[in-house]
Amino acid sequence: MRDRAARIRTGTLPRAGLEEGDDPRVRVTLDHLRGLEGRARGLTFLPRQPARSVLNGRHASRLRGRGLNFEELRDYLPGDDVRTIDWKVTARTGTPHVRVMTEERDRPALIVVDQRMSMFFGSVLNMKSVTAAEAAALAAFRILDQGDRVGGIVFGDEQIAEIRPERSRATLNRFLTALADANGTLRADAPNVPPISLTRVLRAVARIAPRNHLIIVLSDFDQVDDETHRLVSGLSRHNDLVLVLVSDPFAEDFPEGLRLIVSDGELQAEVDTGDTTQHRNLRDMARGRLAEILDWQRTLGVPVLPLSSAEETLPQLRRLMGLGPG
């Protein structure tokens, strides 16, 4: 297992492939992810967003876009914007000086994708892990096509793959390979291990993308705590942070009258959703977690895009971004 985790981190694991009889709604392959490139056209992660996009605030885009690089200091000339005057240098030299800034050529983007066992669930169409992987690939293709650097973090229960943002197809392919490999490790008989926490992953995000990045986090946000909230708040202050909440309708509205056997791989328990109390507790727990993440949109000003594993991925993204069917 350690060797496999290391090979996932370095992108040297043999290409993941579907065995005969496997369902693409359960697992993704590298070829499938690469095949999404043409379908990504039309999506945009630039500051100018369609009017109905969830990434568009009431008065301005929630995406600040590329930052500014310092170019030079020079003497003030008539007609210069007084807001560009560097008052410290002016006071020190006795002569008005202005700071010349140029727009950054590109903006690095970091796409963070959850492929833990909690994502290996789906009751209608896709596994949540598949929906997250497809959305991540679509975003990566579009961001690189915009001329921005792209990289990512892919994490499962035991491994984290870090790909630093670069403006290159090779880096994009490394990201897609890590994503397909991590997705390929998910299986019903996987050993029960304590999963890597989202908090640990967000610390890695803060290390790689301290400021002026576009950060997209795709997860079901299982097991968040106060530190998770603090890290999300800190990242959003210095970056453009977008949270993609991947959920399944089963978690939002548990069917009644079912007798389920749930297992962690070692222990089993029976859940009777026909029992009014059990059904209410399960429903309230699931809805409460989803509501907590959605409320970060209000309390932290972070856009939250809800994605359902019960629908095709691309039409949902287009709808959330205020685009037509395409």
Q: Which residues of the chain have pLDDT under 50?
A: 1-21, 58-60, 263-264, 272, 279
Whether 209 and 77 share a structural domain = no
> Which tens digit of pLDDT belongs to each residue from 131-179?
999 999 999 999 999 888 999 999 999 999 999 999 999 999 999 999 9
State residue 59's pLDDT score: 39
Whether 130 and 237 share a structural domain = yes
State residue 280's pLDDT score: 60
Whether 279 and 221 share a structural domain = yes
Whether 271 and 127 share a structural domain = yes
Whether 155 and 302 share a structural domain = yes
The span from the CA of 253 to the CA of 284, in Å, is: 9
State residue 221's pLDDT score: 94
State residue 129's pLDDT score: 97
DSSP state of 147: T
State residue 82's pLDDT score: 82
Contact partners, residue 79, CB within 8 Å, separation at least 6: none
The span from the CA of 93 to the CA of 317, in Å, is: 54
Whether 10 and 134 share a structural domain = yes
- Kindly report the CATH number assigned to the domain that includes residue 312: 3.40.50.410
Instruction: Tell me the two tokens of residue 255.
Output: 């069917």
Q: What is the largest CA-CA distance in the chain?
A: 81
Whether 233 and 290 share a structural domain = yes
> Which tens digit of pLDDT belongs to each residue from 50-97?
767 777 664 345 556 555 556 678 888 887 888 888 999 899 999 999
The span from the CA of 49 to the CA of 317, in Å, is: 13
Whether 111 and 86 share a structural domain = no
pTM for the whole structure:
0.75
Whether 13 and 87 share a structural domain = no
Alpha-carbon distance values, 42 to 133, 167, 172, 214 (Å): 19, 20, 19, 18
The span from the CA of 323 to the CA of 253, in Å, is: 28
Task: Give which of 207, 257, 199 is closest to 224, Cα–Cα.
Answer: 199
Domain assignment present for 326: no
Whole domain around residue 227: which residue ranges?
A: 2-58+106-320
Tell me how many domains the chain contains.
2
Domain assignment present for 325: no
**DSSP string covering 244-303:** EEEE-HHHHSPPSS-EEEEESSS-EEEEETTSHHHHHHHHHHHHHHHHHHHHHHHHT---
Rounded to the nearest 5 percent, the helix, strand and coil shares of the chain are 40, 20, 40
Whether 92 and 180 share a structural domain = no
Which amino acid is residue 210, in one-letter code? P
State residue 103's pLDDT score: 54
State residue 64's pLDDT score: 65
